[in-house]
């Protein structure tokens, strides 16, 4: 006889530390039915894994030396590395950039580890910073998913520590979605009420499904791990919210560049941090973020010389290649300071593994789009996104330049990139007004 | 629907890519492979390496048969990529560069600014030391038939105080140690090649000057660029083969001047069409 309320959560801390110490989780919940591995019971039970019965004619060898390990599949390789998936094109280990649409544009479903991306931007806007912040936030979130082992670290170049407080937090959905999620989370908790519903449904299912499907339980577990990994691979960020709690110095490091004239000093600092992090956790992913690269606000005037820029970027590229299992790099730069048509712009293009360019619309175009989408303001785009280089594929000689094929819009929900098409102005009313006169043919 | 006939790439009138006569000649020859944004020559350099080492070029010409003796050394010098980039990708074309004793990779990318050229503003002497080492490696090669590739040497002009004349001098000296020197260089205009740049310290002027001097000395030029009309789904770019300003001093051998269109598939399958 139970004295608990129907809605009471069984594994809540108050109960765990209370009068019934055995109740600790879903496995500890008393269930009716045959106990597994009870001596003498060898019959296969629907929904349960079959226990191997020793057969004198065909003895089963027990011991670790006789257990044949199945070959590790690609999904298993990435299962223990949170936020890493094989590239859709080249199967290289890939991490998300923090923007799902940019991941799609890069074709790999992210940025392959050991590669870099440059985000160029024309004009006085700063959309590129949104991408860099999401890139950094994604690293922090990956680190927070698994509490015990350090999964990710972020290194920021050139900005003060306060930048960490500006990183966007996770998008929790609209108010409706948030309410729905709350209900779902309550339902997933183990309470007497929920158990009564779920056990009857589960038993019914077990009866319906043939026992042989129970054998594939291991596969199911690996599928669940894979799905979980997929779920943790990329997140959606809300740029109006902030990452709470703010990233600590264990999660993010800052390398100053002001008053540094020599690129080798910066590279040495980066190398030291990377070594330290890898020593702590060899499979760690380190994200280097360089927002507003070479802006006169942060960098010394001597840094704009080609004898600083090229050796510095080349050395960064060397770091990426040397730590090709750990490092990824995202940099943003103003195209007005260093246009693609200049030598510096072209050299940057050859030194970075992938390059995208943001070109916000001018005033005239913005007005046209606002007019075209006046009934659907959510469709208003903010500019064009040009793809100049894609990791690995461009290096192999494939022509991956896509000019004016994508448009971007920055919203609270996410930074969206979609295929660009010129909006059609709806002049139906005006045309109707003009054609009211009778026309003679 | 008509289908376009595929072709095999040949550079010379004897239907070869790197003729045996060039490797046996006493004269050193120079070739320039130039490319633009979006048309990396990685696949071509891989095929040229394969052709130099074993005589075939499986990706671009299936008519070529392997040489009876593998007596050619191929040395690849890169300022832009490390050895792993070429070795890992070469396996797809059926040749494992990591175990081929005739192939040598000189990595001038990985420790260029951390070890070799610590002061880019005053790098002339360090560059000289670096090229002396390169020359020694080429000189010590086992075979007398040698092909040397050098990728993105113009990078030194934009990142250091090296003058175009100094770089040209180093390359010509390297050329003396080999039968064929292939210089792989970016040639986007006006970024790299800008004939309107007159300031001697301007990197654009330096690169333009360097390339023009090289073209006056080359024997065969290969240029790759994307379609002028923009991206196409079935065409990656145009490849143009032209003879250089110096003829080959081999009787009967001449450059097969042609223009091709090519397409690179996802698995690095290359289709070549005559234009």
* Residues whose CB is less than 8 angstroms from the CB of residue B95 and which lie 6 or more positions away in sequence, other chains included: B49, B50, B53, B54
pLDDT of A291 reads: 96
Give the tens place of pLDDT for each residue, A246-270. Answer: 999 999 999 999 878 889 999 999 9
How large is the ipTM? Answer: 0.92
Domains of chain B plus CATH, in order, are: 17-215 (3.40.50.300)
pLDDT band at A40 (very low <50, low <70, confident <90, very high): very low
Among B155, B191, B196, the strongest candidate for a mutation testing the A interface, having the largest count of A CBs within 10 A, is: B191
Contacts of A307 in chain B (CB under 8 A): 120-121, 159-161
Q: Which of the pair, B94 or B260, is modelled with greater confidence? A: B260
d(CA B87, CA A263): 30
Contacts of A402 in chain B (CB under 8 A): 231
Q: Which residue has the tokens 């019971």?
A: A41
* Residues whose CB is less than 8 angstroms from the CB of residue A238 and which lie 6 or more positions away in sequence, other chains included: A168, A169, A170, A171, A172, A412, A413
pLDDT of A222 reads: 57
d(CA B130, CA B136): 10
- Nearest alpha-carbon partner for B185 in B9, B44, B5: B44
Q: Taking the CB of residue A177, how many other CB atoms lie within 10 A of it?
A: 11
d(CA A119, CA A341): 15
Does the structure show a pLDDT above 60 at A433? no
d(CA A340, CA A346): 6
Contacts of A303 in chain B (CB under 8 A): none
Alpha helices by DSSP H, A234-285 = 263-280
In this structure, what are the phi and psi dihedrals at residue B72, rounded to the nearest 5 degrees? -120, 135
Cβ burial, residue B160 (10 Å; 0-12/13-18/19+) = buried
Nearest-CA distance A124 → chain B (Å): 24
pLDDT of B230 reads: 84
pLDDT of B145 reads: 94
pLDDT of A21 reads: 37
Q: Which of the pair, A4 or A389, is modelled with greater confidence? A: A389
Question: Chain B window 116-155: which residues touch A at a Cβ cutoff of 8 Å?
Answer: 117-118, 120-121, 152, 155
Task: Kindly compute the dihedral angle of the four CA atoms of residues B202, B204, B210, B213, in this order, to the nearest 10 degrees.
Answer: -110
Query: In terms of CA atoms, which chain B residue is nearest residue A304?
Result: B159
Contacts of A310 in chain B (CB under 8 A): 120, 155, 158-159
Give the tens place of pLDDT for each residue, A49-60. Answer: 443 434 443 433
β-pairing, A383-389 vs A402-410, is antiparallel
Angle at B86 between CA B42 and CA B157, to 5 degrees: 65
Does the structure show a pLDDT above 70 at A390? yes
Does the structure show a pLDDT above 50 at A32? no
Does the structure show a pLDDT above 60 at B128? yes
pLDDT band at A122 (very low <50, low <70, confident <90, very high): very high
Q: Which residue has the tokens 């010394």?
A: A300
- Does A345 reach chain B within 8 Å, measured CB to CB? yes
Q: Which of the pair, A65 or B272, is modelled with greater confidence? A: B272
* Residues whose CB is less than 8 angstroms from the CB of residue B212 and which lie 6 or more positions away in sequence, other chains included: none
Summarize the confidence of residues A316-326 as an average pLDDT.
95
Summarize the confidence of residues B158-173 as an average pLDDT.
95
pLDDT of A232 reads: 84
Nearest-CA distance A398 → chain B (Å): 6
pLDDT of B46 reads: 92
pLDDT of A430 reads: 52
Q: Do residues B237 and B227 lie in contact, with contact meaning Cβ atoms separated by under 8 Å?
A: yes
Q: Residue A214 has what DSSP assignment?
A: G
Give the tens place of pLDDT for each residue, B30-77. Answer: 999 999 988 999 999 999 999 999 999 989 999 999 988 889 999 999
Report the topology of domain A74-171+235-423: Rossmann fold (3.40.50)
Q: Which of the pair, A360 or A63, is modelled with greater confidence? A: A360
**What are the boundaries of each domain within chain A?**
74-171+235-423, 175-233
Q: Do residues B73 and B223 lie in contact, with contact meaning Cβ atoms separated by under 8 Å?
A: no
User: Could you tell me the CA-to-CA distances from B260 to A397, B32, B60 in Å, in that order?
Assistant: 15, 17, 12
Percent of chain B with pLDDT over 70: 98
Q: Do residues B95 and B50 lie in contact, with contact meaning Cβ atoms separated by under 8 Å?
A: yes
Cα A293 off chain centre by: 23
Summarize the confidence of residues A141-168 as an average pLDDT.
89
pLDDT of B188 reads: 86
pLDDT of B156 reads: 96
Does the structure show a pLDDT above 70 at A14? no
Burial code of A226-263, b = ≥16 C-beta within 10 A, e = fewer? Answer: beebeebbbbbbbbeeebeeebeeebbbbbbbeebeeb
Query: Counting every residue, how long is chain B?
Result: 275
pLDDT of B70 reads: 87
Query: In terms of CA atoms, which chain A residue is nearest residue B191?
Result: A343
Q: Do residues B174 and B70 lie in contact, with contact meaning Cβ atoms separated by under 8 Å?
A: no
The DSSP string of B87-107 is: HHHHGGGT--TTT-TTEEEEE
Of A217-226, B84-93, B195-204, the poorest mean pLDDT is in A217-226
Quote the strand ranges of A239-337, DSSP E: 252-255, 285-293, 327-334
* Residues whose CB is less than 8 angstroms from the CB of residue A429 and which lie 6 or more positions away in sequence, other chains included: none
- Does B109 reach chain A within 8 Å, measured CB to CB? yes
Task: Name the residue among A321, A342, A400 with its Cβ closest to that of B191.
Answer: A342
Quote the strand ranges of chain B, DSSP E: 6-7, 29-35, 72-78, 103-107, 145-151, 180-186, 220-225, 237-243, 258-264, 270-274
Of A94-103, A217-226, A373-382, the poorest mean pLDDT is in A217-226
d(CA A439, CA A27): 82
Q: Which of the pair, A229 or B191, is modelled with greater confidence? A: B191
Q: Residue A379 has what DSSP assignment?
A: G
């Amino acid at each position: 006889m139970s004295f608990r309320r129907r809605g009471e959560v069984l594994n809540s801390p108050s109960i765990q530390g209370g009068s019934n110490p055995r109740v600790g989780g879903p496995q500890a919940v008393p269930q009716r039915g045959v106990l597994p591995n009870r001596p003498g019971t060898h019959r296969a039970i629907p929904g349960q894994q079959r226990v191997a019965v020793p057969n004198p004619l065909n003895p089963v060898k027990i011991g670790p030396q006789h257990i044949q390990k199945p070959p590790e599949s690609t999904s298993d390789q990435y299962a223990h590395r949170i936020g890493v998936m094989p590239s859709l094109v080249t199967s290289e280990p890939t991490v998300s950039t923090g923007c799902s649409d940019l991941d799609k544009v890069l074709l790999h479903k992210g940025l392959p580890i050991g590669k870099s991306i440059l985000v160029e931007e024309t004009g006085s806007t700063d959309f590129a910073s949104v991408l860099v912040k999401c890139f950094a936030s994604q690293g922090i979130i990956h680190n927070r998913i698994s509490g015990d082992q350090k999964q990710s670290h972020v290194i920021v170049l050139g900005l003060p520590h306060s930048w960490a407080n500006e990183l966007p937090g996770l998008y929790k959905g609209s108010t409706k979605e948030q309410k729905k999620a709350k209900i779902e989370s309550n339902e997933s908790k183990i309470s007497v009420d929920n158990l009564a519903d779920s056990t009857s449904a589960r038993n019914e299912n077990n009866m319906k499904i043939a026992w042989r499907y129970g054998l594939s339980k291991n596969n199911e577990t690996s599928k669940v791990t894979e799905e979980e990994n997929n779920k943790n691979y990329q997140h959606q960020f809300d740029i109006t919210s902030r990452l709470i709690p703010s990233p600590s110095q264990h999660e993010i490091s800052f390398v100053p560049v002001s008053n540094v004239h020599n690129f080798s000093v910066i590279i040495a600092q980066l190398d030291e941090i990377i070594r330290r992090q890898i020593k702590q956790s060899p499979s760690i992913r380190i994200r280097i973020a360089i927002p507003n690269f070479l802006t006169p606000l942060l960098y010394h005037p001597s840094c704009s010389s080609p004898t600083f820029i090229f050796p510095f970027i080349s050395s960064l590229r060397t770091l990426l290649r040397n730590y090709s299992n750990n490092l990824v790099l995202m940099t943003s730069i103003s195209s007005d300071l260093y246009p693609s048509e200049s030598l510096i712009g072209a050299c940057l293009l050859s030194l970075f593994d992938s390059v995208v360019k943001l070109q916000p619309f001018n005033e005239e175009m913005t007005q046209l789009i606002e007019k075209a989408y006046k009934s659907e303001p959510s469709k208003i785009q903010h500019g064009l996104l040009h793809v100049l280089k894609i990791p690995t594929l461009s290096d192999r000689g494939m022509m991956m330049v896509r000019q004016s094929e994508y448009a971007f819009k920055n919203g609270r929900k996410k930074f969206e990139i979609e295929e660009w098409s010129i909006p059609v102005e709806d002049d139906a009313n005006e045309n109707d007004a003009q054609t009211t006169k009778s026309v003679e043919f | 629907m008509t289908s376009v006939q595929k072709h095999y790439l040949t550079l010379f009138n004897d239907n070869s890519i790197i003729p045996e006569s060039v490797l046996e000649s006493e004269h050193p020859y120079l070739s320039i492979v130039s490319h633009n944004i979006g048309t990396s020559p990685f696949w071509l350099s891989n095929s040229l390496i394969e052709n130099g080492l074993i005589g075939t070029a499986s990706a671009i010409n299936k008519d070529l048969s392997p040489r009876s003796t593998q007596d050619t050394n191929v040395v690849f010098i890169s300022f832009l990529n490390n050895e792993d980039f070429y070795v890992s990708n070469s396996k797809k074309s059926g040749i494992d560069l990591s175990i081929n004793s005739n192939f040598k990779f000189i990595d001038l990318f990985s420790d260029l600014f951390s070890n070799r050229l610590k002061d880019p503003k005053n790098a002339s002497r360090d560059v000289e030391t670096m090229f002396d080492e390169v020359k020694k490696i080429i000189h010590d090669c086992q075979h007398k038939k040698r092909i040397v590739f050098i990728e993105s040497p113009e990078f030194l002009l934009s990142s250091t105080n090296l003058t175009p004349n100094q770089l040209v001098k180093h390359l010509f000296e390297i050329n003396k140690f080999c039968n064929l020197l292939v210089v792989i260089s970016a040639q986007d205009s006006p970024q790299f090649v800008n004939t309107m740049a007159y300031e001697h310290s301007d990197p654009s002027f330096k690169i333009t000057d360097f390339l023009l001097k090289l073209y006056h000395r080359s024997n065969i030029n290969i240029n790759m660029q994307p379609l002028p009309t923009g991206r196409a789904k079935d065409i990656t770019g145009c490849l143009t083969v032209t003879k250089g300003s110096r003829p080959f001093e081999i009787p009967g051998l001449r450059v097969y001047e042609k223009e091709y269109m090519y397409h690179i598939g996802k698995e690095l399958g290359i289709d070549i069409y005559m234009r």
